[in-house]
Structure 1
Amino acid sequence: MMLTITVTKPGLVRFSHDRTRCSQKFDRATCVWSMKMESKNSHNRMIEELSVELPKQPSLPHLDLSRDRPLQFNRGQPSNKDLDPDDMFEFGGYIARQAMCDEEYWTSAYVRAATRWEDRNNDKYVQSHIKKYTEQEFNEIKRRSNIQFGYKCRCIVTMTKDSKDVKRNVLQSMVGTVDLRTRYMMDGETFPEQLVKHSEFKDFKMTRENRYGYIANLCVIKPARCQGVGSNMLQFAIKQAKLDELERVYMHVDRKNKKAQGLYNKMGFQIVESASAQLEKDQLYLLYLKI
């Protein structure tokens, strides 16, 4: 399969022509770079055309990414028998795994929106924001979940397990969600999104040493809190990072959220002190875990 991506940026960007590996689970891909430079005087821009040769991805069971199909929230959960043991984690009455259909993507987006405004979600004005944010995040989750240019994102969800007597649909089952993203350090960076002075010529190398995982949007609905959902979902995300052969993961945390900081500290995350001053204005810490 040939994937072609066109990136338009002001200035000139230089990409490494090394042959590198795009790591997929149990797969290897060779990235073949080709560059086409076209000058546009009216906009004073350069267009970089990149070609990446990737193997065909195996289809996941029950995976449905059709944009035209109407959402059906009454659909049941896939059977555990259809899932690889490495792709799921059972704990208590829950199961953590990767989201597998549009309905789960949409519900993940709604959980994130509802959690963001959970103290004011009865306000009609806030409800409109929740609806708008859900639609935007739903589209973003779908976009990020498609592997592009070596970057990928796993939307991980935690679902309540069905019992013999009770069968739940997607909306009734989901209690938590989190993203695990694969990224690459840019030239000059020692940690994610570091403010550095780049020269006119920038290097971007898709090497194993530059790869890292980034965990974001960890959310658990109120009724499911204090039951180990957040910590187990985070452990599952770290396990997936290991399977993707990532050696380090990062995440941000609110400086005022001492409870979350305590949880992440117990799991081995440490504050990146060199990033603290840069994030002081946003009241965030950057955390780091070597895996």
Structure 2
Amino acid sequence: MRRRNNETKTWKWICLRTNAMFLRKINAQCKDISQQLHISMDPQLESRQPSDLHFEKLQPANENYGGKHIRVFGSYVAREAMVDEEYWTAAWLRAESHWESQLYVRYIDSYKRKFAEQEFSALKRRCTGQQTQKSYCIVGVKKEENNVKRMVLNSILGTLDMSIQHLLRGRNFPGGTTRTCISTCLHGGYNQERYGYVSNLCVAKFARRQGIASNMLYLAIDAAKASGVDQIFVHVDKDNKPAQKLYEKIGFQMVEEEFPNLSMERNYLLCFKM
């Protein structure tokens, strides 16, 4: 019995020593990675926000709005972005939303800045005619008040993208194919049929449940109708129940044909038909 106890103690000591050595090795590796991340993500070494933006710029007056699409509701207005500072604020809002559930990540502010810079550049390309497809950056802003002037950064509370795209040949919807047209898909090209596609919908945390998201969507639908399309698609994370309920409330329905096994997919495809 005593010999067995000694063997057990010896085995425990070996296990503890092995675990300690393993942990020291892991900690050393983590320290090296941390130092590398610190060097690569140091804010002083990262590219700055676009230097030609003026973040003290006041919110543009609604009467100066030159776009076709605008929707007034309660204390807010949904419309297209007008100036670069609004594009940047929309990009930053999307960065905040993207990293919202990952606050434990080190150097998260640097990641947010990089994300916002890339999204700002992409927004400008999409919405200023640098790409073939028509795109809208819709924002939800606070309505103007008498004798109250707000900066752009404090005015935008929500944003989404709505683009007009062509279906690829042999496809009934984004990502789907018909059995009779698979051979056509191999040759590429586009159908004449167009559709609207909604993406990047987000609202600031403190401004949610005030109708901003739904009214931006209604405005996107109006813009799609004006562009002559009769259906709008959107992908939504299958675990994002609030977003699913929002789209269903607006009138979107799930495209079941694309997902024969829904449990294996991360995103659902929803469709709104005019």
Give me the whole-angstrom Cα distance separating, in 2, the residues matched to 1:258 and 1:201.
36
Classify 1:103/1:281 alpha carbon distance in 2 versus 1 (closer, same or farther; 3 Å).
farther
Listed as ranges, the matches of 1:213-224 within 5 Å are 213-224=196-207
Distance 1:149 1:130 in 2: 25
Tell me the CA shift for residue 121 of structure 1: 4.2
Q: CA deviation at 1:244?
A: 1.1
Matched, 1:76 2:61: no
2:71 is paired with a residue of what secondary structure?
strand
Change (3 A) 1:205 1:76: same
- 1:202 alignment partner, one of 169, 187, 206: 187
TM-score of the aligned structures, taking structure 1 as reference length: 0.70
Whole-angstrom CA distance in 1 between matches of 2:183 and 2:161:
29
Residue 117 (structure 1) aligned to one of 88, 92, 99: 99
| Count of matched residue positions in the alignment of Structure 1 and Structure 2 | 223
Question: Cα gap change, 1:200/1:164 in structure 2, threshold over 3 Å: closer, same or farther?
Answer: closer
Q: Provide the C-alpha distance between the structure 1 equivalents of 2:82 and 2:225, rounded to a whole number of angstroms.
A: 21
* 1:73–1:169 CA contact under 8 A, matched in 2: yes
After superposition, residues 116-155 of structure 1 pair within 5 angstroms as 116-121=98-103, 124-147=106-129, 150-155=132-137
Q: Distance in 2 between matches of 1:253 and 1:238?
A: 17
- Structure 2 CA distance for aligned equivalents of residues 71 and 132 of structure 1: 16
Measured against aligned partners, the alpha-carbon deviations of 1:220-278 in whole angstroms (never above 9, x if no partner) come to 00010011111111111111111111111000111111222112112111100011247
CA distance in 1, matches of 2:132, 2:161: 16
Which residue is equivalent to 2:166? 184
Q: Does 1:249 align with 2:232?
A: yes
1:85-144 deviations in whole A, cap 9, x for unaligned?
A: 842111111111111111111111100000111234475422111111011111111111
SS of the equivalent of 2:168 reads coil
Structure with greater strand share of residues: 1
Contact in 1 for aligned 2:169/2:185 (Cα 8 Å): no
Following superposition, the deviation at residue 290 of structure 1 comes to 0.7
- Which structure 1 segments of 5+ residues have no match? 1-67
Q: Which residue of 1 aligns with 2:272?
A: 289
RMSD of aligned alpha carbons: 2.4
Unaligned runs of 5+ in 2: 1-49
Provide closer, same or farther for how the CA distance between residues 264 and 169 of structure 1 changes in structure 2, counting only shifts above 3 A: same
